[in-house]
Amino acid sequence: MATTARQGPYFCGIDAAMDVVSGKWKVLILWELHHHGTRRFAELRRGLPGVSEKMLIQHLREMEEDGLVHREVYREVPPKVEYSLTEDGVALNTALAPLGDWGTERMRRTGAAKVR
């Protein structure tokens, strides 16, 4: 994904949505931003145990490019950057809700483990 292509011809809407959402941490970032509103880089990193800084940035950049998250840079001396969801990102999150319910139900049935 990422560097090249993207926006490639899609079969249907789900296909297009999956393109934007595929990436190990993307939906988790969405979820985190949705629940906390605005978060700084280090806050996100701490909120997603196991994520590498490289992937976090890469995903955030792609999601910014895709118009899902807004990136606000404060030119202060200890650098400060705040990430938040755009309208589009909020809509995506809403559209993901039923899928989340399905997954939760499935976890309950299969007894899958949960992190934190």
75 binds, among DNA, a second copy, none (CB under 5 to 8 A by kind): none
**51 within 8 A of 41, measured Cβ to Cβ:** no
Q: Which stretch binds DNA (CB under 7 A): 46-54, 88-96, 97-105, 108-116?
A: 46-54
**Contact flag: residue 7 with DNA (CB under 7 A):** no
**23 within 8 A of 59, measured Cβ to Cβ:** yes
Residue 37 backbone phi and psi in degrees, to 5: 80, -85
How many angstroms separate the CA atoms of 64 and 3, rounded?
A: 14
Which parts of 70-99 interact with DNA (CB under 7 A)?
A: 71, 73, 77-81
Write out the residues near a second copy by the rule CB under 8 A.
7-18, 20-22, 27-28, 31, 48, 88, 91-92, 94-107, 110, 112-116
